[in-house]
Chains A and B, each alone.
Chain A
Amino acid sequence: MMAAELAFYILAGGAVISALGCITQRNPVASAVWLVGTLFALAGIYILLNAQFIGIIQILVYAGAIMVLFLFVIMLLNLAHRQNDIRRWPMWLVGVGLLAAFGGPLLGLRGYSPGRLAAEVTGAAVYGDPARALPAGQAALKATQERGVVGAIADPLFRSYLVPFEITSILLLVAAVGAVVIAKRKL
């Protein structure tokens, strides 16, 4: 456990620092690269949290495709030298205010230990064994061990969530066509 936690804290720190870098850099290319850093750190955290498939997909799709797309567009628009596009200080107040508004309730999430989650889900007042109170998680762990990482996620993806899967593929098609249509100079 110690190693996992240590690794987690290092990766988490990296994610936060990269996120800060993303939102404060003037140069949009720099922002994009810092964001890539955040995505890598998050991918590492996913692997630690037993979601290996998702972690790899994160690197392949998010960092590898989406961010590349962002960078392409930034290069295309030749935006590298625009200056001073951070809003003036009155908006800082609004920003901090909204941060508090959003972050406040969300910070309440840090109190969620597995025991408390189990207690809330089962409605019992006593913290029983979380592993037994939440059987789905255990089943997930067992599936990963039996069928491998990819096989475990293939089961719900192609069985319970088949229809959303198909619809998502149509969505991708539509998005691709739409992007081409919008971005063309002449139809």
Chain B
Amino acid sequence: MLLSQSLLLSAILFGLGVLGVIMRRNAIVLFMCVELMLNAVNLTLVALSQYHGLSGQVMVFFVMTVAAAEAAVGLAIILAVFRHHQSVDLKDINLLRG
């Protein structure tokens, strides 16, 4: 039940996440918008697991786990970058210039 509505909501949340990634220059907020995108996908998986079986929920489980690990490592990296540049503004992180 509520399949099409859930999928629509997921699409909207995903789009908002993309918009956030493009619009924000703060590295941590950018990361949060990526988490938003991940959540949108989780919603899709859960909505469809109603019809395709419990594997969908198991996948969500794993997604959350990996998201947790990824958040830990990503934030550690941001910490290290901050120590170097004294800023998490993406404008200042440009050492890859070639």
Interface of A toward B, CB cutoff 8 Å: 1, 4-5, 8-9, 12, 15-16, 19-20, 22-23, 28, 31-32, 35, 38-39, 42, 45-46, 48-51, 53-54, 57-58, 61-62, 65-66, 69-70, 73-74, 76-77, 79, 82, 85-87, 91-92, 94-96, 98-99, 102-103, 106-107, 109-114, 117-118, 130, 134, 136-137, 139-140, 143, 152-153, 155-157, 160-161, 164, 168, 171-172, 174-176, 178-180, 182-183, 185
Best-surrounded residue of B6, B29, B65, B75 (most CB of chain A within 10 A): B29
CB distance from B17 to the nearest CB of A (A): 7
Q: Is the CB of B28 within 8 A of A61?
A: no
Interface of B toward A, CB cutoff 8 Å: 1-20, 22-26, 28-29, 31-33, 35-36, 39, 42-44, 46-55, 57-58, 60-62, 64-73, 75-80, 82-83, 88-89
Q: How far is the CA of A176 from the CA of B76 in the complex (A)?
A: 10
